[in-house]
């Protein structure tokens, strides 16, 4: 299911990102992404869009090749 973004919210680093619903559309062809850690969940962002994965203290990391983050990103990717 593809959901719209909620109201944008400001994270600890001062940059404005959008909070997530259950899932959003991802661009499977653009592998430029970062993991932004929030108090609720880890969001992987692809071209300004993302999907909340799970709690994590890490931030601004690119998911390791073969990691759970990358696997979830690929498996939940919705092509246009």
Instruction: Dump the DSSP string for the chain.
Output: -------EEE-TTS-EEE---S-----TT---EEEEE-SS-EEEEETTEEEE----S--SBPPPTTSHHHHHHHHT----
Assessment of whether the complete model's pTM goes beyond 0.85: no
Is residue 17 situated within a structural domain? yes
Is residue 72 situated within a structural domain? no
Range of the domain at 34: 8-61
Number of domains in the chain: 1
Is residue 3 situated within a structural domain? no
* Interacting residues of 27 by C-beta distance below 8 A, sequence separation 6+: 46, 47, 49, 80
pLDDT at 67: 65
Query: Whole-number mean pLDDT of the chain?
Result: 42
Residues of the chain with pLDDT under 70: 1-80
pLDDT at 62: 53
Is residue 35 situated within a structural domain? yes
- The whole-angstrom separation of Cα 53 and Cα 41 is 6
Q: Which residue has the tokens 């869009």?
A: 49
Is residue 77 situated within a structural domain? no
Is residue 38 situated within a structural domain? yes
Is residue 27 situated within a structural domain? yes
Is residue 70 situated within a structural domain? no
pLDDT at 1: 28
């Amino acid at each position: 299911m593809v959901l719209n973004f909620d109201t944008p919210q400001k994270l600890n680093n001062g940059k404005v990102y959008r909070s997530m619903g259950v899932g959003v559309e991802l661009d499977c062809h653009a592998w430029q992404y970062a993991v932004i850690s929030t108090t609720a969940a880890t969001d992987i962002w692809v071209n300004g869009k993302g999907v909340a994965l799970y709690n994590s203290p890490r931030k601004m990391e690119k998911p390791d090749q073969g990691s759970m983050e990358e696997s979830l990103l690929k498996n939940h990717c919705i092509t246009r």
